[in-house]
Amino acid sequence: MISKKKAVIGAVLLMAVTFLLTNIFNVTIGNKVIISKSDYQEFQKLSKVRFLKDRIEDEFYQDVKEEDLIAAMERGIFDGLDDPYSQYYTKDEFKDLMEMTSGSYVGVGIVVSPGEDGFITVVAPIEDTPAEKAGILPGDKITKVDKVKYSAKEMDKAISIIKGEPGKEVVLSIIRENKPEFDITIKREQILIKSVKSEMMDEIGYMRISSFDERTGEEFDENLLSLKNNNPKGLIIDLRDNPGGLLDQVKEVADSILGEATIVYTEDRAGNRQYLKSNSSGKLDIPLVILVNENSASASEILAGAVRDNKAGTLVGTTTFGKGLVQNVVPLKDGSGYKITMAQYFTPNGEYINEKGITPEYVVEIGEEDTEDVQLNKAIEVIREKNK
């Protein structure tokens, strides 16, 4: 016969095992599943979402597509972060995002950002594209696409509409400083981006980097070699209106001009740091000036900060855009994906530039009355002074 004490101990052990099974593991008993308490609470929340979706499908005055509601729910998770750079992308949108950094896509040739004022804001038109030729300017606010209103939260949807078939037109409604809203009609084209261009200006090499896409590092090295064959007395790298791009391409450029140095470091919410360093394979042995302005953003700011903090060159122009956040792009199995802000970044000397930007050593404003590129002229002057 089992003693009363042993029976009590057995009951306690049974209760403990049951608690562990139901709060740590999911257990199947017959055709029923026992789930943990936390999982059940989570299931209740998700059930409410499913309930609301069903109610909308049953009660909304128009027909709705289930896939549209699901996509909206997926977007909503990222909307809850209140971070304009963290976003969910449908399969088609994710494909468009990948094309944007490949250097070839159909569109009008603009880089946009979600503005804090709720508008889709043009960071910069890409050089030699329909948008630039049509007169789109940095800072323009896009309010409508083909007469349909879009806010900053709907930026990705607006981008998907702006893209389309080459040869077809799209109408962008624009708000520009001190002007009433107006429309610009732009014909879509196959955009083939050559992100690096160069030329000799007397005895000084000049290189323009319009964005950092998949071939920028390779194009930079090709152009740098061509300039070096002319024995330049200095190099100007123009990052004005460069909206950024791929960090690995910044590293490739830095490898060719910095030598072994810290380019940038990131810090996540737990305080963990990761350092990105250039290798020792290349270091520029001539004076270097970096041109920047208020539309130099993200990846271009990283390069500018690395050059400044490593005393590898001089910055000329105006204070940069101020984007000090790093995003990770993650593809999902169904072809969709998401972009999430995973860390802050700091210049090698530890400066956090978000919403502040980088102020160059020589601040040079371009006035409406200026008929010459006074910033470029100052860059040439700085190089000539260093050669004395």
Q: How far, in Å, CA of 337 to CA of 323, rounded?
A: 22
Active site residue 151: no
Q: How far, in Å, CA of 254 to CA of 261, rounded?
A: 9
Active site residue 278: no
Measured in residues, the chain has a length of 388
Phi first, then psi: give them for residue 114, nearest 5 degrees: -75, 115
Catalytic residue among 211, 298, 300, 336: 298
Helix (H) or strand (E) holding 57: helix 37-59
Pick from 227, 238, 239: nearest CA to 202: 227
Catalytic residue among 141, 163, 251, 323: 323
Neighbours of 26 (CB within 10 A): 11
**CB within 8 A of 137, min separation 6: which ones?**
122, 125, 176
Helix, strand and coil percent figures for the chain, each rounded to 5: 35, 30, 40
Catalytic residue among 140, 156, 309, 378: 309
Active site residue 309: yes
Query: If you ran DSSP here, which 8-state letter would residue 313 be given?
Result: S
What residues act catalytically?
Answer: 298, 309, 323
